[in-house]
Structure 1
Amino acid sequence: MPTLPDDVTAALTAPLARVDADLAARFPGEPAVRQPVHTCYVPADQMRATLADDWGAAALATLDTHAGEPPMLAAVTGIPGELAERVHAHVRRVLATAPIADLRVDFEDGYGDHDDAEEDAHAVAAADALRAAADAGRLPASYGLRPKSLDPAVRTRGLRSLDLFVTTLAAGGAIPPGLVVTLPKVSTPAQVTVFCDILTELENRLDIGSGLGAGIRLEVQVETPAAVLALPAIVAAGRPRLTGLHVGTYDYSAALGVSAEHQASDHPAVELATALMQLVAAGTGVQVADGSSNLLPVGDRAAVHAAWRRHADLVRRAWMRGIYQGWDLHPAQLVSRHATVAACLLTGLPAALARLSAWTGTAGSGMAGSGTAGSGAVADEPATARALAGHIQRALDAGLLDDADLPVGLTRERPIPADGPVIC
Structure 2
Amino acid sequence: MPTLSEHLLGRLTAPLAPVDATLAARHPGDPGTRQPVHTCYVSAERFHPDVILEWGESAREALAEHAGSPAELADAVGLGTVTGAGAAGAAGAGAGQAGGGPGEADPALAERVHAHVLRTLSMDPIQDLRVDLEDGYGIRPDDVEDEHAIAAAEALRMASAAGALPASYGLRPKSLDPAVRDRGLRSLDLFLTALAGDDGGPPGLVITLPKVSAPEQVTVFLAVLDELLPRIDLRPPAVELQIETPAAVLALPALVDAGRGRVTGLHVGTYDYSAALGIAAEHQASDHPAVEYATTLMQLVTAGTGIRVADGSSNLLPVGSTDAVRAAWRRHAGLVSRAWRRGLYQGWDLHPAQLVSRHAAVAANLLAGLPTALARLSAYAEARFAGAVADEPATARALAGHVLRALDAGLLDDAGLATADLDRAVVTKLGGRAG
Range of TM-score over shorter length: over 0.9
Q: Distance in 2 between matches of 1:138 and 1:34?
A: 18
Change (3 A) 1:311 1:415: closer
Give me the TM-score of the superposition, normalised by structure 1. 0.94
**Higher mean displacement: 400-409 or 264-273:** 400-409
Matched with 1:406 is 417
Alignment partner of 1:265: what SS? coil
**Higher mean displacement: 148-157 or 357-366:** 357-366
Q: Distance in 1 between matches of 2:153 and 2:433?
A: 36
Deviation at 1:241, TM superposition (A): 1.4
Which deviations, in whole Å up to 9, do the C-alpha atoms of 1:228-285 show, x marking residues without a partner? Answer: 0000010110122100000000000000000000000000000000000000010001
Answer yes or no: is 1:258 the counterpart of 2:279. Answer: yes
Deviation at 1:26, TM superposition (A): 0.4
Matched with 1:110 is 136
1:233 aligned residue (254, 262, 287): 254
Q: Distance in 1 between matches of 2:263 and 2:423?
A: 30
2:214 aligned residue (174, 188, 201): 188
Number of corresponding residues = 408
Q: Distance in 2 between matches of 1:333 and 1:414?
A: 35
Matched with 2:309 is 288
Matched with 1:9 is 9
Output aligned runs, 1:129-140, within 5 Å.
Answer: 129-140=155-166
2:367 aligned residue (325, 328, 346): 346
Letter in 1 for 2:195: L
Q: Distance in 2 between matches of 1:72 and 1:239?
A: 48
Change (3 A) 1:41 1:415: closer
Matched with 1:144 is 170
Give 5+ residue unaligned stretches, structure 2.
80-104
Is the 1:360–1:416 contact (alpha carbons within 8 Å) kept by the matching residues of 2?
Answer: no
Q: Distance in 1 between matches of 2:228 and 2:15?
A: 40
Q: Distance in 2 between matches of 1:163 and 1:316?
A: 38
Matched with 2:85 is none
Matched with 1:377 is none
Q: Distance in 2 between matches of 1:410 and 1:15?
A: 42
Matched with 1:51 is 51
Output aligned runs, 1:139-178, within 5 Å.
Answer: 139-178=165-204
Is the 1:413–1:423 contact (alpha carbons within 8 Å) kept by the matching residues of 2?
Answer: no
Matched with 2:403 is 392
Matched with 1:127 is 153
Deviation at 1:172, TM superposition (A): 4.7
Matched with 2:228 is 202
**Higher mean displacement: 401-410 or 219-228:** 401-410
Q: Distance in 2 between matches of 1:334 and 1:416?
A: 28
Q: Distance in 2 between matches of 1:276 and 1:391?
A: 23
Which deviations, in whole Å up to 9, do the C-alpha atoms of 1:18-37 show, x marking residues without a partner? Answer: 10000000001101332100
Matched with 1:65 is 65
Q: Distance in 2 between matches of 1:305 and 1:420?
A: 36
Is the 1:413–1:422 contact (alpha carbons within 8 Å) kept by the matching residues of 2?
Answer: no
Matched with 2:265 is 244
Q: Distance in 2 between matches of 1:183 and 1:57?
A: 30
Alignment partner of 2:424: what SS? coil
Q: Distance in 2 between matches of 1:314 and 1:112?
A: 27
Relative CO higher for 1 or 2, CA cutoff 8 Å, sep ≥ 6? 2
Give me the TM-score of the superposition, normalised by structure 2. 0.91
**Higher mean displacement: 238-247 or 406-415:** 406-415
Is the 1:147–1:159 contact (alpha carbons within 8 Å) kept by the matching residues of 2?
Answer: yes
Is the 1:390–1:423 contact (alpha carbons within 8 Å) kept by the matching residues of 2?
Answer: no
Give 5+ residue unaligned stretches, structure 1.
374-379
1:328 aligned residue (349, 353, 359): 349
Is the 2:401–2:431 contact (alpha carbons within 8 Å) kept by the matching residues of 1?
Answer: no
